[in-house]
Amino acid sequence: MPQSLPSNLVHNLLSSPAPDIPLNPPLDSPATVAPPLPSLQIGPLTIGFPVVQAALSGYSDAPMRVISRRHGASYGVCEVMLDQFLVALRDRQKTRHFLEIDPSEHPVGGQLMGAEPLQFAAGAQRLVQAGFDVIDINFGCPVKKVLGRCRGGFHLSQPQVALEIVERTRAVVPPHIPVTVKMRRGLDDTPRSRERFFEILDGAFARGVAAITVHARTVEQRYIGPSQWSFLREVKQHVGSKTILGSGDLFTAEDCLRMLRETGVDGVTVARGSIGNPWIFREARALANGEPCPPPPSVAEQAACLREHFRLAETLYGPRCAPLMRKFAIKYAARHPCADQVREEFIRAGSAPDWERVLERWYDSPEHLNAAGVVPALPTDLNEA
Ligand SMILES: Cc1cc2nc3c(=O)[nH]c(=O)nc-3n(C[C@H](O)[C@H](O)[C@H](O)COP(=O)(O)O)c2cc1C
């Protein structure tokens, strides 16, 4: 991976890929007053800050997206949904929460995948009815069962079908709602796969797609090995002024700004790096403003965020939310000074009162922790509001 740069300068370099720009102008010099990052635009929609919440199946539901937005993400995409599922969905069904949109989170993207162009378009119409501001087409999912049913990443092997999906979707979605595509950099590393990638990329833009997110791993790669950022740079250079968002290996705020700078993409989508870590967005905003990276969230701040995330989930899912929140809690726990113990307790928490007990014990009661000898010295900011 290329080296990272001082945080107060990284965005100054965004418009210039040259690595030999002086890195250390005096801090009080006007040169350090950072120009704002270019605002991200998706078709007619102004997104603004170009660091957004990625689509994450099993995670990026309305509660997670709201939490990310409150911490600085300017846009978020829901978990991928099957076109068939959307078409069959009835208003009163238990699974309707997939279509939940919080009034505070606009603009928000709805994502779908499927195999057959006509059904795909019908699914897209359901997402429009549900109120999503952007319709995102998934040509990237690498899950075996998905590929076996000719969905997701499978489409990278059949540009004609992929482009028919784009065309039919664009045709049924109202013109003011942008249609976007999410794709991986190919099925595998063969020249044929690369050719097909560019055929779909160019064909999709020619059919009116407003932006394309590229995860710079192949479908075959799944999550093994690095995301090839040099490919993102190549894609951006290839499309010129058209909008490209980059994906892959964004685990810190520095990573986000580095991807913007090194590849020239118009926006970046934070995926695994945002699970249990919504603070990545405020950190990215600070760095983009030329400010130092904010300190990590205090234990009290973590507790407030966990409680709010749980409250939002409880409102949406009802009492069954505690088991659903476990996967988030495990990730949040990683930031606690006693990460292993907190994680174990969250794993065992099966109800709202259990969850609250873990919070009280590990996040609200420093005396208790000290008495138990679990942590000899807790952070001084533990009881901050
Ligand atoms: C658990 C999980 C679920 C995902 N679900 C989706 C999804 O529903 N739609 C999508 O386009 N990408 C999905 N992705 C891919 C991510 O959006 C992203 O492209 C990928 O994780 C690479 O970014 P990262 O290396 O920074 O995590 C998923 C990834 C993970 C790990």
Closest approach atom of ligand 1 to CA 136:
11
Does residue 79 form part of some domain? yes
140 CA to centre of ligand 1 in angstroms: 9
The residues, ordered by sequence, that sit 6+ positions from 48 with a Cβ below 8 Å of its Cβ are 39, 40, 74
**Phi, psi angles (nearest 5°) of residue 226:** -75, 155
Residues 308 and 278 occupy one common structural domain? no
The values of phi and psi at residue 17, to 5°, are -75, -5
3 falls within a domain: no
Ligand 1: lining residues by beta carbon, under 6 Å: 54-58, 79-80, 111, 138, 140, 182, 215, 227, 247-250, 271-273
Q: How far apart are CA 363 and CA 374, in angstroms?
A: 13
Please indicate, yes or no, whether residues 217 and 330 belong to a single structural domain of this protein: no
Is the same domain home to 196 and 304? no
Contact in structure between 77 and 108 (CB atoms under 8 Å): yes
Tell me the CA–centroid distance for residue 271 and ligand 1, in Å. 6
Tell me, yes or no, whether 201 and 325 share the same domain: no
303 and 284 belong to one structural domain: no
In the structure encoding, which two tokens stand for residue 138, read together?
């998934």
Using one digit for the tens of pLDDT, what is the confidence trace for 279-316?
999 999 999 999 999 999 999 999 999 999 999 999 99
Q: Residues 183, 268: one domain?
A: yes
**Distances from the Cα of 71 to the Cα of 42, 55, 256, angstroms:** 21, 17, 15
Tell me how far apart the alpha carbons of residues 152 and 272 are, in angstroms, rounded to a whole number: 19
Is the confidence at residue 153, as pLDDT, over 60?
yes
User: Both 252 and 154 in a single domain?
Assistant: yes
C-beta of residue 310 within 8 angstroms of C-beta of residue 276: no
Cα distances (Å, whole numbers) of residue 136 to 81, 183, 266: 10, 10, 17
Q: Is 5 a domain residue?
A: no
- Average pLDDT value for residue range 18-28: 32
pLDDT (mean) for 156-165: 98
| Residue partners of 295: CB distance under 8 A and separation at least 6 | none
Band (49; pLDDT cuts 50, 70, 90): very high
Whether 2 maps to a domain, the answer reads no
Which of 254, 269, 288 marks a domain boundary? 288
Q: How remote is the CA of residue 128 from the centroid of ligand 1, in Å?
A: 22
- For residue 359, being part of any structural domain is answered with yes
Residues 336 and 279 in one domain: no
Q: Is there a single domain that holds both residue 250 and residue 113?
A: yes
Residue 1 in any domain: the answer is no
* CB distance 271 to 54 below 8 Å: yes
Looking at the DSSP bridge assignments, the partners of residue 243 are 211
Task: Say whether both 242 and 327 belong to one domain.
Answer: no
DSSP secondary structure string for all residues of 75-136: -EEPPPEEHHHHHH--TT-GGGGGG---GGG-SEEEEEE-S-HHHHHHHHHHHHHHT-SEEE
> And the tokens for 135?
């319709």
Cα of 55 vs centre of ligand 1, distance in Å, is: 6
| Structure token digits, residue 33 | 């007053």
Closest ligand 1 atom, residue 251 Cα:
26
What is the predicted pLDDT for the residue at 365? 83
> How many angstroms is it from 142 CA to the middle of ligand 1?
10
Which helix (H) or strand (E) covers residue 151, if one does? none
* Most ligand 1 atoms within 8 A of CB, residue of 272, 275, 277, 327 to mutate: 272
To which residue do tokens 């809690």 refer?
Answer: 329
Q: What CATH number is associated with residue 110?
A: 3.20.20.70
**Is 141 annotated as catalytic?**
yes
Mean pLDDT of 61-69: 98
Q: Report which protein residue has its CA nearest ligand 1's atom 14.
A: 56
Domain total for the chain? 2
Whether 73 is covered by a domain: the verdict is: yes
Q: 141, 256, 305, 321: which one is catalytic?
A: 141
Of ligand 1's listed atoms, the one at least distance from the Cα of 111 is 9
Question: Among residues 262, 288, 314, which one ends one of the domains?
Answer: 288
Of the two residues 46 and 4, the one the predictor is more confident about is 46
- Asked if residue 4 belongs to a domain, the reply is no
The atom of ligand 1 lying closest to the CA of 78 is 8
Gap from CA of 105 to ligand 1 centroid (Å):
20
pTM, to two decimals: 0.88
Model confidence at 99: pLDDT above 60:
yes
Both 303 and 272 in one domain: the answer is: no
The protein residue whose alpha carbon is closest to atom 2 in ligand 1 is 56
Residue nearest to atom 12 of ligand 1 (CA): 55
Residue 11 near residue 257 (C-beta atoms within 8 A): yes
Q: Choose one of 53, 56, 141, 221 to mutate for the ligand 1 pocket test, by most ligand atoms within 8 angstroms of C-beta.
A: 56
* Nearest Cα residue to atom 11 of ligand 1: 55
Chain-centroid distance, C-alpha 8: 24
From 247, 262, 288, the end of a domain falls on 288
pLDDT at 5 over 50: no
Domain that holds residue 40: 10-288
360 and 270 inside one domain = no
Closest CA relative to residue 87, chosen from 116, 56, 55: 116
pLDDT in tens, 226-285: 999 999 999 999 999 999 999 999 999 999 999 999 999 999 999 999 999 999 999 999
